[in-house]
Structure 1
Amino acid sequence: MRHHRADVVDRALTVLDTYGLADLTMRRLAGELGVQPSALYHHFPNKQSLLAAVADELLARGRRHATSSQRPAAWDARVEAVCTELRDAMLAYRDGAELVATVRSFGLGAATPYDELADALTDGGLEPSLVPTAARTLLHYVFGHAVDEQTHLQAGAVGAIEDAPRDDSDFALGLQIVVDGTRLLTGARSAQPA
C-alpha cells in the first residue's frame, strides 16, 4: 500500500504519543506503516524534515482559530491566545513540547506561533528592534513551562518521582507577568485583565 505524506505524518504523531520522541525513529515508523524505512525517504529527505512536519501538524491540530483574523483584536489578548494555544497543542501529545521547541530552535519549522506573536507585538506598538526578542521570550516561557509540565507528569506516571500530578498550573499567571512587562515597554493598556 502506498502512503501519502499526510499518512506518514499522522502515523508519526501516533508513534510520538505512544512511545515518545526518543522512539520516533524512521525504522519504527516504517514498521508501523508496513513499509521499508527507505520508503519514508520518498516523502522526507531526513528525520529532521519529518520531525518538522510532525511539529507543524501538531500545532495545526491545536489551533482554536481557523485563521489569525479570528483571534482577539487587542495585541496583548492575541499574545495570550497564541501562547495558550501553543501550550495546549504541545501538551496534547507526549513529548510535544520537546518536539516543537527542538524543531523551532533548529529553524526547521514550528514558525507560526513566532510569526503571530511578532505581528501582535508590532500591532501593540512595541519598538521594532524589540519585537524579535519579545517574541522569542514569550516562546521560551511557553516552551519551558510546557516541558516542565510534561516532564513532571511523565516522571510521576512511571514512578520516577513520588509527586502526585499537579492540580493546577501557574501558566496563565506567569504568562500574565511576561505580558505585563511587555505592556510596560509598549506604553499601551489595551486589554487589562478582568
Structure 2
Amino acid sequence: MANSLDDVVSGALRVLGQYGLEFCSMRRVAGELGVQPSALYHHVPDKQTLLALMADRIVAGVEVGSDPEKAAHALRDAMLAVRDGADVVATASAFRLGDSRLENELAALTSADVARTVLLYVFGHTQATQMHRQAAQVGILSEDPDLDASFARGLALILR
C-alpha cells in the first residue's frame, strides 16, 4: 500500500522522536516507512519541505485567540512535547518555510515587531530548555526547576 503525505510526515516525526533532528534524514524516514528514499520525493520535493510540514504539524493545535501570552505558552508546550521540536519549528520559521499563521495572528493582536520578538524569544528559550532537559536526562546537568518560571518572566517583560 502506498504511503500518503500524512504518513510521510508522521514517519518523519517518529524518526525525530527516536533519533533527534541531527539524525532525521530522508533515508531514515524512508526506512521507517519501509520504502526507498526516492519514494518520499513523490510527496515532498526536498528535506526542507518535509521539515516545514513537520513544523506545521507540531504547532497545528496552537491557537492564538486573543491572548498573546497564552498563545506563547501553548507554542512552547507544543514544541516541548516533541524531541527537538523547538529546533524544527525555529528552523522552518527562520527559512520562512511552512505556515506563518501564528506570526500573522500575533501581529494582528500586537504588532509585527512584537510578534516576531515573541516568537524568537519562545523559540530560543524553548530550544535552551530542551537542550538542558536532554543534558539532565543523561546526567550531564542537573534539572533546572526555574526554566518554566524564567520563561514566563521573560515573556511578561516582552509583552509589557
Q: Deviation per CA, 1:52-103, whole angstroms, max 9, x where unpaired?
A: 001001111x43x5xx5xx34xxxxx11122111111110000000110010
Give the distance between the partners of 1:91 and 1:164, measured in 2 at CA. 15
- Which is worse superposed, 86-95 or 131-140? 131-140
**So what's the TM-score if we normalise by structure 2?**
0.93
The answer as to whether partners of 2:44 and 2:50 remain within 8 angstroms in 1 is: yes
The answer as to whether partners of 1:12 and 1:24 remain within 8 angstroms in 2 is: yes
SS of the equivalent of 1:135 reads: helix
Tell me the equivalent position of 1:84.
73
Point out where structure 1 has 5 or more consecutive residues left out of the alignment.
Answer: 73-77, 122-130, 181-194
Tell me the equivalent position of 1:75.
none
Tell me the equivalent position of 2:20.
20
Tell me the equivalent position of 1:143.
123
Point out where structure 2 has 5 or more consecutive residues left out of the alignment.
Answer: none
Alignment equivalent of 2:153, drawn from 173, 176, 186: 173
- Which is worse superposed, 32-41 or 131-140? 131-140
The answer as to whether partners of 2:125 and 2:151 remain within 8 angstroms in 1 is: yes
Q: Which amino acid aligns with 1:6?
A: D
Give the distance between the partners of 1:113 and 1:166, measured in 2 at CA. 28
Give the distance between the partners of 1:134 and 1:167, measured in 2 at CA. 25
SS of the equivalent of 2:56 reads: helix
Task: State the Cα distance separating 1:158 from its structure 2 match.
Answer: 2.1
Tell me the equivalent position of 1:95.
84
Higher relative contact order (CA 8 A, sep 6+): 1
Aligned residues: 159
**So what's the TM-score if we normalise by structure 1?**
0.77
1:156 aligns with 2:136: yes
The answer as to whether partners of 1:9 and 1:54 remain within 8 angstroms in 2 is: yes
Cα RMSD of the aligned pairs, angstroms, is 1.5
The answer as to whether partners of 2:26 and 2:37 remain within 8 angstroms in 1 is: yes
Aligned residues: percent identity? 50
Tell me the equivalent position of 2:11.
11
Task: State the Cα distance separating 1:168 from its structure 2 match.
Answer: 5.3
Q: Which amino acid aligns with 2:84?
A: D
Give the distance between the partners of 1:84 and 1:21, measured in 2 at CA. 23
Over 4 Å off, 4+ runs: none
Query: Which one has the largest radius of gyration?
Result: 1
1:106 aligns with 2:95: yes
Task: State the Cα distance separating 1:165 from its structure 2 match.
Answer: 4.8
Q: Which amino acid aligns with 2:157?
A: I
1:116 aligns with 2:96: no
SS of the equivalent of 1:15 reads: helix
